[in-house]
Amino acid sequence: MQNFAKGSFYVNCNFYQGPGRPKSTNEAYSDYPELTAPNVWPPDHLLPGFRQCFEELCSLVIDTAVLVARQCDRYALAQIEGYEPCYLERVVRTSTTTKARLLHYFPPTGSPPVDQSSTNGSLGRGEQDVDTWCTTHIDHGCLTGLTSAVYIDESSHAPTLAPCKDSSSPPAPLPFLPGAPDPDSGLYIRSRSGAITKVKIPSDCLAFQTGETLQLITGGKFQAVPHFVRAAGRSVDGGQVARNTLAVFTQPGLEEIVDRETGKTYAQFCREVAERFR
Q: 253-275: per-residue pLDDT in tens? A: 999 999 988 999 999 999 999 88
Q: What percent of the chain has pLDDT over 90?
A: 56
pLDDT recorded at residue 238: 59
Under the banding of pLDDT at 50, 70 and 90, the label for residue 113 is: very low
**Closest among 180, 276, 191 to 227, alpha carbons compared:** 191
**Closest among 218, 245, 248, 225 to 92, alpha carbons compared:** 248
Helix, strand, coil share (%) of the chain residues, nearest 5: 25, 20, 55
Under the banding of pLDDT at 50, 70 and 90, the label for residue 248 is: very high
Nearby residues of 203 by Cβ (< 8 Å), 6 or more positions away: 148
Average pLDDT over residues 134-159: 90
Q: pLDDT at residue 250 above 80?
A: yes
CA 176 to CA 206: how far, in whole Å? 18
Phi, psi of 102 (to 5 degrees): -85, 125
pLDDT recorded at residue 204: 94
User: What's the chain's average pLDDT?
Assistant: 85
pLDDT recorded at residue 109: 73
pLDDT recorded at residue 112: 47
- pLDDT tens-digit series, residues 30-67: 788 878 888 999 998 888 889 999 999 999 999 999 99
What is residue 137's three-state secondary structure? strand
| C-alpha distances out from residue 271 to 180, 198, 266, Å | 37, 31, 9
pLDDT: is 129 or 159 the higher one? 159
Q: pLDDT at residue 22 above 60?
A: no
Average pLDDT over residues 71-85: 96
For Cα atoms 22, 214, 132, give the angle at the middle one, nearest 5 degrees: 110
Q: pLDDT at residue 164 above 70?
A: no
Q: pLDDT at residue 199 above 80?
A: yes
Q: pLDDT at residue 126 above 60?
A: no
- pLDDT tens-digit series, residues 214-242: 999 999 999 999 999 998 765 555 568 89
